[in-house]
Amino acid sequence: MNTYRFTILCILILNVCSITYGQQAPQAPSLPKILPEELVELQADTDLVILDTRSPEEYEQGHLENARFVNYETFRLEDVADLSKEQKIIVYCKKGGRSDKVSQQLIDAGYKRVKSLTGGITAWQEKGYPTRHD
């Protein structure tokens, strides 16, 4: 076996070993979540801000008490620039996908007390909690 082939073979073996036995990349911390029953207990907190990230039509069909509408499709950090980075912020949508993305944007921007509502307004309603229709 010539030196070139031997070197390539050694590199391949090292790569397989490092993939098989090497350290796994650290995983990103999971997004902070809140259950509907936990949110019910927090709703009286005057420092709490609830953001609804659904479409305007979904918001009109019913939303959480004191929810602030921020359309997921057009959301920008400037939409919440008036909020303190220390404020408690709960973000929700229909099932959790859109609110998770907006929550992550807020966390990445330095907001420290952000949580996404597990299961969104669907889980909220399944628990029998009220919604408003303004």
> At residue 6, what are phi and psi to the nearest 5 degrees?
-60, -40
CB atoms near residue 111 (< 10 Å): 21
Q: Catalytic pick from 64, 67, 90, 93?
A: 93
Tokens of 9: 């073979």
Is 93 marked active-site? Answer: yes
Tokens of 125: 């309603």
Give the three-state DSSP class for 133. Answer: coil
- As a whole number of angstroms, the distance between CA 48 and CA 78 comes to 19
Could you give the residue numbers annotated as active site?
93
